[in-house]
Structure 1
């Protein structure tokens, strides 16, 4: 469950090997791009080479039209002094010197890690945002698709010849580009930094050799003792040739796990995990219209739902000297949702693991000693939920046997330092009515932490990210970034400097080079283009309690006329795992498409979403139907009071996945305000959806709260116009969730529209046809500009 939106590509430095200098690709305000070289010894910047001369000579040698502002390559390899630069263009490698000589070279330029894949794989879960620019230098238009978490393509738009598209995405997420015939031209996995990729006729071919080399297995050195699982039990091979079975209690119902074997550093003890497998929960799909045959196909997947039996792990400790188990008590970890290994202490005296109790109200770091004593080293508890899926952080400092730990125990997500030898808290590291979003790096020797923080600067949007550092003892807190906007940064190889880019949705990016120790700006790299028209307006207004600020944006049509009345369309996604209103400068392509159809489009984050205070987040607990709607309604009404062109009598709402649940819920629980809704691939009953997401927010065991938040149970309350969209092969949210809503609506004698998509996966409504049907629906039920 997640959302994407297009955004402006931020600055991404590429540090030059054996040098503190770097280059980057700069997007020009009038379109196109340039390559900039930065000399950190003089704190100066310049073009990396003569673009006009290089374009002219490249065109002469290749007979292919070449534009100096849109060169047919996105990566260069400058010399440390930039006296020459290498690049790849039109299937060949080139060297261009500072005195204007362009010639083909035999050594291909080092293009870093291009992240081109030789085949599609599902996108991994990730919450680290990056920005990618796709540049089309192929022979025809390209279609851009995101490969979702189940391996299904989701359409994102077309890129014409010679054009480029900036895309916000997440680290590791996979993108496919195909031509008009459907041939795959590139498969790309987003790297850990902002980047650009040029797609031409040779993009995929250049991959083959590197891909084959990467798949060549590496020889592993044999080490002893060597542990294997045979017939469900643990066997250990020793260096003297002895191979001994050391367990006899493993069986099909309770086997040992080969992937969960941990030998102590001194090689004298072993921990092996025995487990009871999860229950079988099969979700069945019928593919009605397969492309390769006339008859339908059956597809089945394993898919745990709330209340199902999860895998239960049981760590057991063994002495390798006696070849026997050391007895332990499991009362401190008897009801797990999930366990994770933390590892052995450096002195081999204790094995540690993380215990996440079922229901997500208890987290523990547990230690097992060589004598079998089991103790709690760290314990975290909550009356609502512990946000294990977003905020769990631990960093073991082996040399001092300490642990850096994240907790919301004081109402804000902060860092704490624990003494693991004593199993006791030493001190709280960060403190205040702000929060730690993520830890960037830890210097154990200097006893310092660098982290990404939210709400750190008074008067700024609480979701704006800043880089800060602090000492282990909580002293020396310093914010290293400056500028009223959300910040991204990239460290130099020696971490003595970093680039800092910040922007707001109403202000284009500014980028500077900063000193890593003081945070002082030593060189301005790119300044904000203040003449650019903001793509959206930022609006802040109190929520349901009359005091908590709710932050959102308002997007007007390009041909906006303040003398007219416009219907309002809210794009909703209230999943508690994150916040969803764009903060960085963005072209907001998907929102702009709807605004230009004649709507005032709004996007905001109400209570119950993430990365504010714990109290703000807890509103969602056992209450997903809330979805922040009291805040959303108050926010829209407040905006309309000073914007007479916003027509609050015609408010529509659209969303997909968890947003689909929210969109339909708007008509069930707030049908006096919302008049029309489109729910795409909705999770309409949390008992029907994936276990991890729903038990995280709705709790365990499954109780009345699940029924209270169910769109199926409350279908009879429907007011307004509803359109449901579902793909028959959606293996993210069980399609039966939507069809159970359909059944309940039929039983309640309610009118609605249903778009059922044969072969469609999650987000089936994002196709061209799906978007056109949604547009027709809202035009009929909300009307146009008046």
Structure 2
């Protein structure tokens, strides 16, 4: 195999130029490794170039009646126009036309990758196309096939950035008043006579006023007295900066769990002649900063979200601008946590309503809140999950949303698209086909381009009518002939029961492409148990790290255990103050069930690897479940949740920081290590401070434990890149296959 790329060289080093049949001084197993490494390097560098139409990006015309898209093909890029009315597809351009025109201009020489099309490339009517090539802009007349260079007038444009501080300004909706900040206080200037009045008097450098919001009638101005807390520093040292003889210190502001946050107090300022100032009757806000204000249509009252830092209470509060009183319109409380990142609120001031999402009934659903009548009515309900909101039409009183788990017998993580009325009636399934969908609507929401697939079913792309989901035409079918030709295995979905014996746990399996059912293969789990999402692929994957690792002689799996998101609230709640669990009991049961169905998967040789939260999880597997997991590679792990970033860790481990943080730390339990471990860390990690990994190493050393340690100079939050992935594979070859890895330095 003679195709050599830069990526291959990074991965293989001197091996890239060797042929598998050449003599070598290594044992037979090493020769097999060389063949396997050559195969995966070849596929890594060729699959993406030879698998076509995995996705399409429609670019709609101004009238929303047609769109163009670019597709990949064996002969290069092709551009098609689709008429949504006639459902006809017409080829309008290809690389041959572009290159013929471009290379005829002044002796220039372009290749397809030089030419960049953008969303605004085509003129209305598709009479011409503009494109970028080697830093210059060109326009091609598609009728006359004439090409000309176009002057880039954008280089003379600029953007003005307004910063907070003494220059913060705000014009009232009626244009009469100018509100501004001066010397940490709020001033109001009458635009009709130029006179100014000072609205606040007690602002200073430690407690400064700011964040101004006008009422629609220009009678009220909301502002805040803010105590601004600057995060303490964390540090890294760059050891290998060129042309230096000393390490370079890098400092970053970084909030950790338990650190004090900025806080603020809300005030209302009246623009009437008396310029009355009212402090809102509520405790100071000490989490997530000044809230976004939503005035009612009459400007007398306003609504805002108020989550608690404990993540166990979320409120929608209504304030009265005339007297400073507040009342809770929504007051949700949880014994575990409220997943604040997935709380959705859409304020509808004309009807005094709010669309609000909550898991209060066991699954994430939508509710219609009326702030006048203080009523909360369900819009969606059932044992399934709302996954996202695409649009809210306040006039038609309809919501376009995404959900998973509604279709019985289908993978409950697959996303489908729906429309429903505010009343909860007239539910329309726009994407009924089995699979994970990605629907790209036209700007007017009359049409949609739907792309859907499964891990073992290649993508299909169709045009649909968004009023009822009716399929209008097939647009493209992905072409995976290259994968079949090269005998590349697709992932296999697998389902097994969780620790409760009732709940289904979903995962995928990658088998070696040349699997021999008479042999025994070690198992490697790719783990990421971060509770903020689910992670097992649902779309078709042409070729990736899991399959390439499997092709070295492993069965590689990925699983979403209990404690991850996108299922029921009870399924998710397992993670609360319990990240140490990581769903590992479910994962082990899943692997055992998988091996029962596929007996050539060897549960006596199970390894695990992960990055970031997965790094924490993979080491935890060895520390707490060494009877099952025998080897782990842990990259840039957040091994101690007190060290990692505040928002993520407090969401799951809670606030205030309690003893459970220490009790679940991998550092605390390092002395429990059994099995084989490799730690990987980038010395300049800005996501998880590197000391999280170094403290684990320190504790392991003090416990006289054996482990491997790989620090990557200059690298950030990483699994080690191509070098780290090669070291990881060699690690599993040595300790799970029980074979000496290739001696790379001898090649």
Decide which structure has the larger Cα Rg and report it: 2
Alignment partner of 2:390: what SS? strand
Could you tell me whether the CA contact under 8 Å between 1:576 and 1:609 is conserved in 2?
yes
Could you tell me whether the CA contact under 8 Å between 2:77 and 2:94 is conserved in 1?
no
- Does residue 602 of the first structure (1) align with residue 602 of the second (2)? no
1:547 corresponding residue in structure 2: 502
Per-residue CA shift, 1:280-303, capped at 9, x if unaligned? 422122333323421222222221
Deviates more, 1:53-62 or 1:632-641: 53-62
Gapped runs of 5+ residues in structure 1?
A: 109-205
Structure 1 residue 435, shift from structure 2 partner: 1.4
Q: 1:102 aligns with which of 145, 150, 155?
A: 145
Could you tell me whether the CA contact under 8 Å between 1:567 and 1:785 is conserved in 2?
no
Could you tell me whether the CA contact under 8 Å between 1:16 and 1:78 is conserved in 2?
no
2:245 corresponding residue in structure 1: 294
Structural RMSD (CA):
2.8
Deviates more, 1:70-79 or 1:373-382: 70-79
Per-residue CA shift, 1:704-739, capped at 9, x if unaligned? 221232101111111111111122221211111112
Show the 5 A alignment for 1:257-296: 257=210, 260-278=211-229, 280-296=231-247
User: Matches of 1:701 and 1:268 in 2, distance apart?
Assistant: 40
Structure 1 residue 64, shift from structure 2 partner: 7.5
User: Matches of 2:728 and 2:399 in 1, distance apart?
Assistant: 48
Q: 1:21 aligns with which of 66, 91, 100?
A: 66
- Does residue 377 of the first structure (1) align with residue 329 of the second (2)? yes
Pair 1:372–1:50, CA change in 2 (3 A):
closer
Per-residue CA shift, 1:156-212, capped at 9, x if unaligned? xxxxxxxxxxxxxxxxxxxxxxxxxxxxxxxxxxxxxxxxxxxxxxxxxx7xx6366
2:572 corresponding residue in structure 1: 617
Alignment partner of 2:330: what SS? strand
- Does residue 242 of the first structure (1) align with residue 188 of the second (2)? no
Which TM-score applies when normalising by structure 1? 0.80
Could you tell me whether the CA contact under 8 Å between 1:414 and 1:431 is conserved in 2?
yes
Could you tell me whether the CA contact under 8 Å between 2:633 and 2:678 is conserved in 1?
yes
Between the two structures, name the one with larger relative contact order (CA 8 Å, sep ≥ 6): 2
Structure 1 residue 417, shift from structure 2 partner: 0.6
Deviates more, 1:397-406 or 1:746-755: 746-755
Per-residue CA shift, 1:408-439, capped at 9, x if unaligned? 000111111111223x1241111111111111
Could you tell me whether the CA contact under 8 Å between 1:94 and 1:102 is conserved in 2?
no
Pair 1:290–1:71, CA change in 2 (3 A):
closer
Could you tell me whether the CA contact under 8 Å between 2:131 and 2:138 is conserved in 1?
yes
Structure 1 residue 276, shift from structure 2 partner: 2.2
Pair 1:648–1:339, CA change in 2 (3 A):
farther
- Does residue 455 of the first structure (1) align with residue 498 of the second (2)? no
1:659 corresponding residue in structure 2: 614
Pair 1:57–1:744, CA change in 2 (3 A):
closer
Could you tell me whether the CA contact under 8 Å between 1:598 and 1:784 is conserved in 2?
no
Could you tell me whether the CA contact under 8 Å between 2:296 and 2:350 is conserved in 1?
no
Could you tell me whether the CA contact under 8 Å between 1:416 and 1:425 is conserved in 2?
no
Show the 5 A alignment for 1:177-188: none
2:732 corresponding residue in structure 1: 778
1:435 corresponding residue in structure 2: 385
Pair 1:457–1:238, CA change in 2 (3 A):
same
Deviates more, 1:728-737 or 1:572-581: 728-737
2:179 corresponding residue in structure 1: 227
User: Matches of 1:338 and 1:629 in 2, distance apart?
Assistant: 36
Alignment partner of 1:633: what SS? helix
Which TM-score applies when normalising by structure 2? 0.84
Structure 1 residue 701, shift from structure 2 partner: 1.1
Show the 5 A alignment for 1:397-408: 397-408=348-359
Structure 1 residue 539, shift from structure 2 partner: 1.1
Pair 1:735–1:67, CA change in 2 (3 A):
closer
Structure 1 residue 334, shift from structure 2 partner: 5.8
1:44 corresponding residue in structure 2: 88
Per-residue CA shift, 1:590-615, capped at 9, x if unaligned? 22332233222111111111111111
- Does residue 742 of the first structure (1) align with residue 697 of the second (2)? yes
Could you tell me whether the CA contact under 8 Å between 2:347 and 2:355 is conserved in 1?
yes
Per-residue CA shift, 1:621-679, capped at 9, x if unaligned? 00001111011111111111121221211111111111110010010111111111111
- Does residue 325 of the first structure (1) align with residue 277 of the second (2)? yes
Structure holding more helix per residue: 2
